[in-house]
Amino acid sequence: MIPSERSAASLVSAQFRIDRNFTVRTWPDRAEAMLGWPAAEVVGRELFACLGDRGELDAREPLRAWQPVRFLSTKRHRDGSLVPVLVVFEPEHDEHGKEQGVVILERLDPLGEAPAAEIEARYQSVVASMQEGVVVQGRDGSILGCNSAAELILGLTADQMRGRTSIDPRWRTVYEDGSPFPGEQHPAMVVMRTGQPVLGVVMGVHRPEGELAWIRINARPVRLTPTAPQHAVVVTFLDITEERRLLAELRHRSEQLALVIEGANDGFWDWDIPSGRVDYSARWAEMLGYDHGELAADLSTWERLTHADDMPAAKAALQAHFAGDTPFYECEFRMRHKRGDWVWILDRGKVVVRSADGRPQRATGTHTDITARRATEERMRVVAVANEKLVEELREALDKVKALSGLLPVCAWCKSVRNDRGYWQRIEEYLSEHTDARMTHGLCPTCSGRLAP
């Protein structure tokens, strides 16, 4: 190999990511080219167990403590050989706020040390490309430098920040409750006093135009050697302004929904379908006479308390909605009250989350106590049946009355009646045949006077 080729091949850079448990999460082609390990054999394994490390234990301690660090080490090649490398580690967060770390391996030429300027340039490029803001503060708390993400988040240029300290009143920082956040309590200043990392601090910072930005801060000491006192602090922070706005909006909507449900006097349920877990509201339990903590947060609670005769219809309605045949689920059934009687429930719900293949994953809904309504409907049904019977009786009476309608031939002398067949019969017999009336005989006052003066 000619000198120029050996110089080009002597320094190889590979960058990958690990999680807080030091499990390898990404493994690019350049890492495989450097150490011979394919991604399938590295991703998911513990960093130190996978690659081995013959570096000084003290040098690795900042890494194990999840602090920025650079140190020389050797890594095990897949063929068993040892590869000298410079290890650079920077902790950061992903887009979901979870901690992750960037590891850079710089392969060193065994015949000569790699150019320090080139290694430093690559290190600085990693810091510059981080999504998190990065600020380095000196021993006196003054800002020594920052990356472009810090400029964007804070609304200041690097020149405007350089030399400014945490106690500068222009920061106008606040706690989450809106009270002033003293500069002496800023994470960087606490790290300077204690020498210990400060993680996950939420702070509000007013940008120059007056807008309030919310950031989540991690601050860690920087030491020239593992045993030396810290000479600077690296502060990394993530802009969580939008995250807080969305959380506040979600909290507001949740409060509104709770008020609506409470005003409607309905119970609420939230069902994680794959696991079978169902969270029931206090009102849901109260409808059945239970305290909230008495009922297990499980689908079996609903199945156990629902009337067996009503369960097939309820499950059929659920399956129809799960299959997409109905836009929502609705069913009425009886549930056993704690005191032993049955309560009528109107159950309404809807699938709110489905998997990529359309299977239901989560459903929510409400329970409404309709016992009073069902009782009213039953009373109305009984009254309706009684009314129908009365109407039938009146119809029959009307038919009988109609049988005596029209002209009725009556003999003027003996008062006999000519019937429908043309025969004459006594009026008493005719009325007995055509009505329910029964005849009795007696004398009216007029006739009685005539016969017995």
pLDDT tens column, 275-290: 999 999 888 999 999 9
Domain ranges of the chain: 1-126, 130-250, 265-369, 376-402, 406-442
Residue 4's pLDDT band (cuts 50, 70, 90): very low
Instruction: Identify the residue with better confidence: 352 or 109.
Output: 352
List the structure tokens of 441. 């005989």
Could you give the count of Cα atoms lying within 13 Å of 49 in the half-sphere of its Cβ? 10
What's residue 448's pLDDT? 64
- Stretch 403-416: mean pLDDT, rounded? 70
pLDDT at res. 92: 79
Q: Which CATH class is domain 1-126?
A: alpha beta
Residue 409: predicted pLDDT: 80
Report the C-alpha gap between 165 and 233 in whole angstroms.
12
- pTM listed for this prediction: 0.44
Residue 279: phi, psi to the nearest 5? -90, 120
Q: What is the pLDDT of residue 56?
A: 44
Instruction: Answer yes or no: CATH 3.40.50.11740 is held by domain 265-369.
Output: no
Q: Residue 135 in contact with residue 127, Cβ under 8 Å?
A: no
pLDDT at residue 307 is higher than 60 = yes
Within this chain, domains 1-126 and 130-250 share the same CATH topology: yes
Is residue 297 predicted with pLDDT exceeding 60?
Answer: yes
Burial (0-12, 13-18, 19+ Cβ within 10 Å), 39: middle
pLDDT band at 34 (very low <50, low <70, confident <90, very high): confident
- pLDDT-based confidence at 2, cuts 50/70/90? very low
Average pLDDT, the chain: 81
Task: Supply the DSSP string of 280-343, one letter for each residue.
Answer: E-HHHHHHTT--GGGS-SSHHHHHHHB-TTTHHHHHHHHHHHHTTSSSSEEEEEEEE-TTSSEE
pLDDT score of 128 more than 60: no
Lowest mean per-residue pLDDT among 51-55, 91-95, 167-171, 301-305: 51-55
What CATH number does the domain located at 130-250 have? 3.30.450.20
Which tens digit of pLDDT belongs to each residue from 323-379? Answer: 999 999 999 999 999 999 999 999 999 999 998 888 999 999 999 999 999 888 888
Within 8 A by CB and 6+ apart from 232, the residues are: 136, 137, 138, 139, 144, 221, 222
Query: What would the pLDDT profile of 429-450 be if each residue is shown by its tens digit?
Result: 777 776 666 666 666 777 666 6
Mean pLDDT of 127-152: 82
The tens digit of pLDDT for each residue in 55-100 reads: 444 445 677 778 777 777 778 788 888 788 878 888 877 766 778 8
